[in-house]
Amino acid sequence: MALLEIDNLVASIGETDVLRGLSLRVDASEVHAIMGPNGAGKSTLAKIIAGHPDYTVKSGDIRLDGESLLEKSPDERAAQGIFLGFQDPVEIPGVNNLYFLRTALNAQRRRRGEAEVDAPSFLRLAKEEAARVGLDAGLIKRSLNDGFSGGERKRNEMLQLSVLQPKLAILDEIDSGLDIDALASVAENAGRLRAAGMSFLLVTHYNRLLDAFPPDIVHVLVGGRIVHSGGATLAKELEASGYQAWSQAEPGLGAGSHHALHA
Amino acid sequence: MQTEVITDALARAYAPGFISDIEADSLEPGLSEDTVRFISAKKGEPEWLLAWRLKAYRLWQRMTPPDWAALEIPSIDYQSISYFSAPRKKDGPKSLEEVDPELLRVYEKLGVPLHERARLAGVAVDAVFDSVSVVTTFREQLAEYGVVFCPISEAVHSHPELVQRYLGSVVPQADNYFAALNCAVFSDGSFVYIPKGVRCPMELSTYFRINALNTGQFERTLIVAEEGAYVSYLEGCTAPMRDENQLHAAVVELVAHTDAQIKYSTVQNWYPGDAEGRGGIYNFVTKRGICAGDRAKISWTQVETGSAVTWKYPSCILKGADSVGEFYSVAISHHRQQADTGTKMVHIGPGSRSTIVSKGISAGHGRQTYRGLVRMEPSARGASNFTQCDSLLIGSNCAANTVPYIESRQPSASVGHEATTTRIRADQLFYLQQRGLNTEDAVALIVNGFCKEVLAELPMEFAVEAQKLLGVSLEGAVG
Ligand SMILES: Nc1ncnc2c1ncn2[C@@H]1O[C@H](COP(=O)(O)OP(=O)(O)OP(=O)(O)O)[C@@H](O)[C@H]1O
Ligand SMILES: [Mg+2]
């Protein structure tokens, strides 16, 4: 059975339709990459799956394990197995990184009817995973992302991913801002998690991550719709050709004004 | 943000808001010299105290309520308030066994650690219900150390020389409108005396509860720490939910002699009124301590989550050389709550130091003002102050102001002030929710992070309670 199914999703923010009939299906242990021009709606898609309150779903459906997510709160979706690694993780001064992560883990476990993880076991787990993603011990004890560099924030997203163990990891440009070693470690960790059954939806602009962590399917997202899908080699072709072909082939899917002209 | 993520739509449930069915002896509403005489007679007070009260009453009659605070308060009809209410009892219960079991159940509901729970917590408790002190625990153990911890009405008889010497010595009768009123009609409160060189072996604690309808509560607390003594004292407050406003005008006086330390913590959870601003306690409190001797230290820690209106400035007079004053505060104004709160640090002693850390949280239509005075007298050579004043806003209908007054008449004294205002952002909440926290827990996490320097100053047993209270107080702040 499909893990994630998105049917003909139309979603807006304010007056603008950002997703305009998007469909997608991700099975367990699959890795999907989503590529597309700036402003195409990639981050929007990620946030809508996670339940961001600013967007309105006008039609279509999103299901996880066959169950619609649309009426669920972000925290319910999280407990059901959705994780979003943010393109720009926010900082929250005063909130201790590890305390936050343990609170989050236990909130999810409580909701699933699982036993809470006690402080010593959690600390052991967190330290182990932090070493894997290359976050030093001092950093993980600081306030959440407070004063973290861009790359450190991304590593912190990876730490949270490995600790929270979702079914579906949506990683929005996890590769941007990462140095070469960090990128290798992200790929290695993702590979390990995938082998254990986790599925991935990777939003990326570059092949660097995809080379180290090859996707099963690559989708091209333009103008709020998936206009083309293919195997791992599609990413290479896109790198060579860009998205020009798609914008031209699908009139009105570029800038909003374009759309108005053709409507 | 596109949508109005943050609203104050949900009403908060006030957990301690039950009304207890306890028979009470109440005085008819109204205030006159006769009221003052009645209270004094009821307590069998000596002549000097009655005269002292009457003097305060006459002063009060000529005073007007302060109007400089950023508060909107309807005028209060002092004749419609009852100035005395006591749970009915035979002859003053002095041990737990004699206390009305219904009263004990009230305190149990409130989570007050009376009885064996007190022993476990190592906390000695004085409980003031409406106007009278109901029971004081651990008195025998404390007496072994020479520590006096009893209702002030009793101290008037058992330690008259101490009460007469110190009562009104820090907050004079004519200090302000509410203090004068308190002097005239105060009913009870706690008295603490720590002898020279004694470190009080346990936390002392008083729980205040207003229960009776139309009753004002005017408690009076006096704490004296002799040379080299140490005491940590905590007060907690609750009141039932009622549609009418209730008046609370307390006075707290602290005296720390040479090398003495007094740590005074408050967790104030008076009924704040409902979401539309109906009901709630008017909390006008005068708290002041004097570091009378060299190297004395007074530290105020307050977590103020309740009351419809808060008017409160716990202060330190730093008279001794190298004396230390501290003020750590968390105040919440949610729904229609208004708070004008802060501190005064008056530096007289050379080398005296003060630290002010104020964390204000406003949500809903809450309004909050930090008002702080730092004064360096000419004698305060080398004195220093540091003030950190942070405001956290939740939603767009609330307001926070910072009003620091700095008066320095001593060039070698240093005064530092930092202030920040931040708003809980929707993207921060979404981040926390995406990781599995519900809205309420997400807000609580951010708020507790914001306040942690202050919470860390509370005695351990109460820090957890205070954290929970912050969460409960902000329920519904984000819709
Ligand atoms: N709050 C908002 N109000 C109006 N338009 C918005 C809002 N947020 C996003 N958009 C628009 O939605 C479109 C999709 O944005 P999105 O962030 O999903 O793009 P993206 O594909 O992730 O781009 P990038 O590659 O630059 O990260 C953009 O045109 C953006 O301007
Ligand atoms: Mg994006």
ipTM for the assembly: 0.93
Choice among A43-47, B150-154, B167-171 with the minimum mean pLDDT: B150-154
* Residue B53 and residue B36 in contact, taking contact as beta carbons nearer than 8 Å: yes
- How far CA A157 is from CA of A85, A94, B188, in Å, comes to 6, 18, 56
- Pocket flag, ligand 1, residue A14 (CB < 6 Å): yes
Q: Is the model's pLDDT at B219 over the cut of 70? A: yes
Of B326 and B78, more confident: B326
pLDDT in tens, A175-210: 988 888 889 999 999 999 999 999 999 999 989 999
Say if residue B55's pLDDT is above 70.
yes
Q: Could you tell me the distance, in angstroms and rounded to a whole number, from the CA of residue A154 to the centre of ligand 2?
A: 14
Alpha-carbon distance of B103 to B116, in angstroms, equals 16
What are chain A's domains? Answer: 4-91+167-249 (3.40.50.300)
How near does any CA of chain B get to the CA of A73, in Å? Answer: 8
Which SS3 state, helix, strand or coil, does residue B367 take? strand
Q: Looking at beta carbons, which residues of chain B come within 8 Å of A108?
A: 435-436
Is residue B299 within 8 Å of residue B272, measured between CB atoms?
no
State which H helix or E strand residue A165 sits in.
none
Shortest Cα–Cα distance, B263 to chain A (Å): 25
| Chain B closest-CA separation from residue A104 CA (Å) | 5
For chain B, positions 209-228, list CB contacts with chain A under 8 A.
Answer: none
Q: How far apart are alpha carbons B25 and A150 in whole angstroms?
A: 67
Coil, helix or strand for A86?
Answer: coil
Burial class (CB in 10 A: 0-12, 13-18, 19+), B243: exposed
Q: What is residue A33's predicted lDDT score, i.e. its pLDDT?
A: 96
Say if residue B449's pLDDT is above 50. yes
Report the C-alpha gap between B223 and B229 in whole angstroms: 11
Residues of B in Cβ contact (< 8 Å) with A54: 1-3, 5, 426
User: Is the pLDDT reported for residue A261 higher than 50?
Assistant: no
Helix (H, G, I), strand (E, B) or coil at A30: coil
Task: Kindly report the protein residue whose alpha carbon is nearest to atom 2 of ligand 1.
Answer: A13
- Which of B422, B434, B452 lies at the smallest CB-CB distance from A84? B434
Please provide residue B317's backbone torsions phi and psi, each rounded to the nearest 5 degrees: -100, 110
Q: What is the pLDDT of residue A239?
A: 85
- Examine the pLDDT at B8 and tell me if it is beyond 80: no
Q: Is the pLDDT at B11 greater than 60, yes or no?
A: no
Shortest-distance Cα residue to atom 27 of ligand 1: A38
Q: Predicted confidence band at B29 (pLDDT cuts at 50, 70, 90)?
A: confident
Interchain pair A74, B450: CB under 8 A: no
> Contact A100/B425, CB-based, under 8 Å?
no
User: A53: Cβ below 6 Å to ligand 1?
Assistant: no
Take atom 8 of ligand 1 and give the residue whose Cα is closest.
A13
Residue B92 has pLDDT above 50, yes or no: no
**Residues paired with A199 in a beta bridge:** A168
At B231 the pLDDT is 96
B450 to chain A, any CB pair closer than 8 A? The answer is yes
A138-151: average pLDDT: 87
Q: What is the pLDDT of residue B15?
A: 53
- Region A142-164 average pLDDT: 92
Interatomic CA distance for residues B225 and B321, integer angstroms: 17
Question: Is A156's Cβ below 8 Å from some Cβ in B?
Answer: no
- Residue B91: the pLDDT is 47
Mean pLDDT, chain B, rounded, equals 83
Q: Give the H or E element holding residue B102.
A: helix B101-109
Distance CA B171, CA B57 (A): 15
Residue B183 confidence (pLDDT) above 80: yes
Q: Tell me which residue in B2, B438, B448 faces A14 most closely, judged by beta carbons.
A: B2
CB–CB of A104 and B427 under 8 A? no
What values do phi and psi take at B101, rounded to 5?
A: -60, -30
pLDDT at res. A262: 35
What gap in Å lies between CA B147 and CA B135, rounded to an integer? 17
Which pLDDT belongs to residue A139?
Answer: 80
As to burial, measured by CB atoms within 10 angstroms (0-12 exposed, 13-18 middle, 19+ buried), residue A233 is: exposed
Compute the distance between CA of residue B424 and CA of residue A39 in angstroms, rounded to an integer.
27
State residue A194 phi and psi, 5-degree precision.
-65, -45
Tens digits of per-residue pLDDT, A32-88? Answer: 999 999 999 999 999 999 999 999 999 999 999 999 999 999 999 999 999 999 999
Grade residue A263 by pLDDT with cuts at 50, 70 and 90: very low
Q: What is the pLDDT of residues B385-411, one digit of tens each?
A: 999 999 999 888 888 889 999 999 999
Atom 17 of ligand 1, residue of closest alpha carbon: A43
Give every CB contact of residue A111 below 8 A, 6+ residues apart in sequence.
A75, A76, A79, B436
Q: Which amino acid is at A3?
A: L
The Cα A44–Cα A14 span in angstroms is: 13
Facing B436 at nearest CB: one of A89, A94, A108: A108
How far apart are the C-alpha atoms of B443 and B81, rounded to whole Å?
38
Report residue B135's pLDDT band, with 50, 70 and 90 as the boundaries.
low
- Res B215: pLDDT: 63
Which H/E stretch holds residue B104? helix B101-109
* Backbone region of residue B228 per phi and psi (left: phi > 0; alpha: psi in -120 to 50; beta: other values): left
Tell me, using a 6 A CB cutoff, whether residue A49 lines ligand 1. no
| Ligand 1 geometric centre to CA of A101 (Å) | 28
Pairing of strands B414-423, B123-129: unpaired
Question: Is the Cβ atom of A220 under 6 angstroms away from ligand 1?
Answer: no
pLDDT band at B272 (very low <50, low <70, confident <90, very high): confident
pLDDT tens per residue, range B204-216 = 888 766 555 556 7
Q: Which residues of A touch B434 (CB under 8 A)?
A: 50-51, 74-75, 77-78, 83-84
Which pLDDT score, from 0 to 100, does residue B306 have?
80
- Decide: residue B95, CB within 10 A, 0-12 exposed, 13-18 middle, 19+ buried: exposed
pLDDT on residue A259: 35
**B265 vs B288: CA distance, rounded Å:** 13
pLDDT at B137: 66
- Higher per-residue pLDDT: B452 or B171: B171
Q: Looking at the predicted structure, is the pLDDT value of residue B436 above 70?
A: yes
- What percent of chain B is predicted at pLDDT more than 70? 80
Which of B162, B147, B150, B155 is CA-nearest to residue B197? B147
Least confident of A48-57, B243-252, B306-315, B328-337: B243-252
Q: What's the pLDDT at B374? A: 97
Contact list, B448 vs chain A (CB under 8 Å): 94-95
Q: Collapsing DSSP states into helix, strand and coil, what is residue B35? A: helix
Ligand 1 and A80: CB distance under 6 A: no
* pTM for the model: 0.82
The winner for highest mean pLDDT among B14-28, B98-112, B328-342 is B328-342
**pLDDT computed for residue B459 by the predictor:** 80
3-state helix, strand, coil in chain B (%, to 5): 25, 35, 40
Percent of chain A clearing pLDDT 70 (strictly above): 94
